Amino acid sequence: MEVGICIAGGVDELNRVDLDLLKQVGIQSLFIGCYENEMRWQAGQVATFVRDAAGAGFEICMLPWGYGKVTDPDPAIPSLYVDTHRDQLQTDSRGRRCAKACPNNPQFLEWFASEMRTAAWMLEARGFLWDEPSFYHSRTTWACRCQYCQRLFYAAENVHMPREMNEQVRAFRRFSIVMFVLAATAAVQSVDPRLYSLVMPRPTLDTAMDNSGTGDWGQLLESSAVDGLALYVPWQERGVRPDQAIAELHNLGARKQKNTTKPCHLWLPASPRPQDRVLANLITARDTGVPRVVLTDYSTLFRAPASQGFISRLHDTIARTSE
């Protein structure tokens, strides 16, 4: 089993990363967040770090975060595009604008594709991970009902888009996310056709309860734009045993593959704290047959106060899981 690590926090965090330490511990791949606003003015610093990491032998996968807040699970990350293009934001079922660009808006798609082509050209990565591409959804409202979504829905269903969420709307949202990922993948592969494309659906142990647009993992895996899934294990959030959650998520991903052999790797929360059970979870993932685990993230694992005494044990565990 391969072990990777996510590096969040932007340029400031990249400046603190010890690549030699990661190599000694046995980390093989880096999943690096690149933020919309930082890439406008500090793209050169990100590119320098990626080049150094690739030269050190790490496999690099980029996570575009904050771009129109479509590929980003954290609403706190700012997006200048959202702030300056209010007319291209998602419209909810009450007619209000959400702080999230619409993945069906052609102007946003054109801008996003251009940004991804630039990122693919500047960064010496092996692939891109589209992190929770989604539509807005809450307990009382959902999006998007902008003019483009309504036109596309009518063209597909030959009826006007309802104001109430139903299965037709859910299917339309899932199809729209697949088309968005297809456009994103086409953009980066126009620079280098060897770049792979992964998707991280919204974290869940029950895909039937997902209303963000990524609930049908089988549909994602069947898309030519998707080379595999990255599945976050929400065992702490769901209050279940980690070994149970790891096994359930791995088996669910395997069942959704249908006629494909595309990999589904897992993301695990990680820190030196005993309650995070990082070492035991790595062994469980290996025994379950998981091809790759990504630990999240660098700061909580390697810059935590208790990390010094934990690193040697982590090294030994990664060595065991790689045998």
pLDDT at 204: 83
Kindly give the residue spans of alpha helices, DSSP state H, lying in the chain. 11-14, 19-25, 36-41, 43-55, 80-84, 106-122, 147-157, 167-189, 217-222, 235-238, 242-256, 278-288, 298-302, 307-321
Mean pLDDT of 7-28: 96
Q: Could you give the 3-state DSSP secondary structure of residue 304?
A: coil
Distance from chain centroid for Cα 279: 23
Rounded CA separation 206/66 (Å): 26
| Burial degree of 283 (CB within 10 A; 0-12, 13-18, 19+) | middle
Which is more confidently placed, 236 or 6? 6
Q: Could you give the 3-state DSSP secondary structure of residue 275?
A: helix
Closest alpha carbon to 290 in 237, 239, 251, 240? 251
69: alpha, beta or left? (left if phi > 0; alpha if psi -120 to 50): left
Rounded CA separation 242/205 (Å): 12
pLDDT at 55: 96
Q: At 136, give phi and psi (nearest 5°).
A: -70, 140
- Tell me how many domains the chain contains: 1
Closest alpha carbon to 266 in 280, 256, 253, 279? 253
Mean pLDDT of 304-320: 91
The answer to whether the CB of 146 falls within 8 A of the CB of 90 is yes
Q: Is the pLDDT of residue 207 over 80?
A: no
The set of residues, in sequence order, having a beta carbon less than 8 Å from that of 97 and lying 6+ positions away, is 86, 89, 90, 91
Give the amino acid at 116: M
Mean pLDDT of 94-123: 96
Confidence of residue 76 (pLDDT cuts 50, 70, 90): confident
Enter the DSSP assignment of 86. Answer: G
pTM exceeding 0.75: yes
pLDDT at 209: 66
Distance from chain centroid for Cα 152: 26
Rounded CA separation 102/108 (Å): 7
Locate 270 and state its tokens.
């990680």
Rounded CA separation 55/32 (Å): 15
Which is more confidently placed, 212 or 191? 191
**Residue 299: which domain range?**
2-321
Mean pLDDT of 241-249: 94
pLDDT at 116: 97
Mean pLDDT of 217-221: 91
Locate 119 and state its tokens.
């990122």
Confidence of residue 120 (pLDDT cuts 50, 70, 90): very high
Mean pLDDT of 164-180: 94
- Domain containing residue 102: CATH number: 3.20.20.80
Q: Is the pLDDT of residue 205 over 80?
A: no
Percent of the chain whose pLDDT exceeds 90: 83
Mean pLDDT of 15-38: 96
